Amino acid sequence: MSSGIVGKEGRAGFKGYETWYRISGELDGKKPPVVILHGGPGVAHNYVDAYKLLARDGRAVIHYDQLGCGNSTLLPEKGADFWTPQLFIDELENLVDHLGIRAGFHVLGQSWGGMLGAEYAVLQPKGLKTLTIANSPASMKLWVEEANRLRADLPKDVQETLTRHENAGTTDDPEYQQATMVFYERHVCRVVPFPPEVVETFDQVARNPTVYNVMNGPNEFHVIGTLKNWSVIDRLPLVEVPTLIISGRHDEATPATVQPYKDGIKGSRWQIFEHSSHMPHVEEQEECMRVVGAFLDQNDN
């Protein structure tokens, strides 16, 4: 994606490993920076690259790859006890201090990144100005229920292929992957063929599947990983910063999965993008940037 915005890359030491990051725009500008939390877990920053467009208005945008994926330290040998939400909260805190932005910053989390952002915001960290939760469920139980409902609307032969391979434990079979794409093109990204940055992310997960497989499972709707019982619903009243919630009309993060954020976070605002699924930042890019940019501008002080 060419936007004319030059990014500066670096690495932050963390627990003996490294977190890769990229800053678009100037960190010492007049506006507090926004930190982008990618999804997955383990899906890397590529597909949320468009959020760097928020830097057009003089705000630094910080992308980073969470530990275990992308350009950060890959740890394929680590097991389920290592990959926890707390690890990624600690990594985010470390990055904030490494970049020297503790005085004030925004957080935008997409999908798993929004779940992580909510986990972070309930701790009321020093310096956090706002939270944007983009295309995220408030509980994985709700997510799985809704994924099954969406899945039931797929063509019968696609459903049969998915079920057959899941029962056989052959979810890496090309036939299963092909059936998965039918769901993805409806509920993950409706810009088909997928744009290059989205393809890059899928390729990255295929190369480095550890975190995604351990915490989530083989795909977006067959959730058998350590997050399968995750929920933040009962802790949401602890979020005190202004919060914007966004989702797509055709999103795998359906209204039922998102509603608890609106109910639980006092004063939160929810915007649904009518022509999007899971990636409004790709599917309705300019409108998404306008909505998010205006929200950040309103809450800089």
Which residues are part of the catalytic machinery? Answer: 111, 251, 278
Beta strands in the chain (DSSP E): 7-14, 17-24, 34-37, 61-64, 105-110, 128-134, 243-248, 269-273
Q: Number of helices (H) and strands (E), helices first, in the chain?
A: 10, 8
State the Cα angle at 77 between 76 and 83, rounded to 5°.
Answer: 75
Whose tokens are 């459903």? That residue is 159
- Residue 204: partners with Cβ closer than 8 Å, 6 or more residues away: 43, 44, 46, 69, 70
State the Cα angle at 115 between 172 and 67, rounded to 5°.
Answer: 60
> Distances in Å between the alpha carbon of 69 and those of 191, 198, 207?
24, 15, 9
Closest listed residue to residue 36, CA positions, set 111, 103, 102, 140: 111
